[in-house]
Structure 1
Amino acid sequence: MTPPRPRLQLQAATGIHRGDRQYQQDRIEIFTHPRVAGLMLAVVADGMGGRSGGRMAADQVILTSRQLFDRFVPSQEEPLSLLQSIVRESHLMIKLSAISAEQEPHSTVACVLLQPDGHCHWAHVGDSRVHVFRAGRLLVRTKDHSYVQELVDAGTLSETMARNHPMSNVLTSSLGTAEDPPFVSDSMPLKAGDVVLLCSDGLWHYFVDTELGSALDRLEPRESCEFLIAKARQRAVGRGDNLSLAVLKLGRSEARAAAAPHGTRP
């Protein structure tokens, strides 16, 4: 008989900062399932469309994610279906909200569903990213829906050049636009010591993957959030965007329940 897979303990933290903008349009949340111990959903949304429009779009992503996750029944539904519903319904609700809004609200989304046994599923739209690190080494990084990413894919621009390109903020897809967004998802089993990072472009823009991996490997989630925000703010030199991140770090445990997430808001 195959022995049961040991439960993985989770340490989690979130961080958010307004940067040098007048208002905050990022939203980041980690939800625990109301009926299934150890089942968690992390979501980051980077709103666009003016002061109220962008925040409204990001708020709608978070609200839709919470409602769908609360109704999710793992024994009857596939994780892929939940993530697809989050993308599709958030997109629809933002479009409906735009009817009564002066601005044109849009948002990115990156979401991660983490199961009690450590299996991880994710989806994203836009340039908010999901990363998976093991022992400080990058295993997975989502590919942005952006103009510069298309240039990188075509071989006409390097990753380094793309980071500082004058059109680096131009997206080819987001939630709330006229065109339906693509649904891009993947999954993998995680091991003790693995770290999942979700973040908006206001954070990842200031780091290479090796820097992120090193910080996440040597620091606990709360400390890594504080460190990465402080370093991003320093490197922005007064021109920083809104930034947000969630860090999920796994460790081996026989405990029945995962640790509750903590938030940090510098």
Structure 2
Amino acid sequence: MPDIFVNYRSSDEDTGAALIERELSRRFGSERVFRASKSIKVGRRFPQELLTAVRRSSVLIAVIGERWADARAADGSRALDDPEDWTRREIVEAFESGALVVPVLIGRARLNRHDLPPELAELADCQYRRLDTRNADGDLTRIGDDLADAVPRLAEAEREIARSAEAAGDVANRVGRVDGSVVQARDYTHRQSGGIGNVGGDVGTFINNASGPVNTGSGPQHNDLRSGGVQFNGDGGSFSGNYVERGTAQQWSDGRRPEREGRDR
């Protein structure tokens, strides 16, 4: 049984309605949010389905865009003035059943009493919320928070979803724009008992508990710890890389071959 009925005009803001429905379904459960194109099963009689869902819902979200009040019926007359217009009928039914009616204005839409037929005049008195694509995440969160505060059953449904996700080991979070890969912190464990270097982003060298010769840079590197010396093979010009001398890791990038301490100096 739905708790939230999403009312909208398909010629006005069906995209905004879908966005609102998906966010509320994520928070409270899909079965608690009714949107006609999602919730009415194939072959069902939509007049009965619509009216039954409105009467059983605690909240009706009236999604109102800039074309909402001026939308036209098939005969060219204004749709809101037609008693059989479904957008109008659903809102009237919600008022009659005592549901909480929340207008959600999309973008720059306005809701003026003089634009409404007498049967819908009460809609202009309802405290509205706004959904702007420039602040969609924040606006959707606020709408969900308001509904959870207004309808305790929704708040409990949200807590139950969170408990189920925790019991299943799911991780619920949000990630902004990412260029690359994302790894859940719980899925990655790193233990370091030794090593050199730091890895930042995709740049850097990290050596952990090496048990043999280490070779990084543009040319071969030979470590001769028995004689205390180091040999380098490269392009004969500038050098940049890492080397090990007498068991100590070194690094250089100044374009010069590093000087070595020892008997060959």
The two structures share one fold, judged by TM-score above 0.5: no
Higher helix proportion, which one?
2
- Larger-Rg structure: 2
**Which structure's residues are more often strand, by fraction?**
1
Output the TM-score relative to the length of structure 2: 0.24
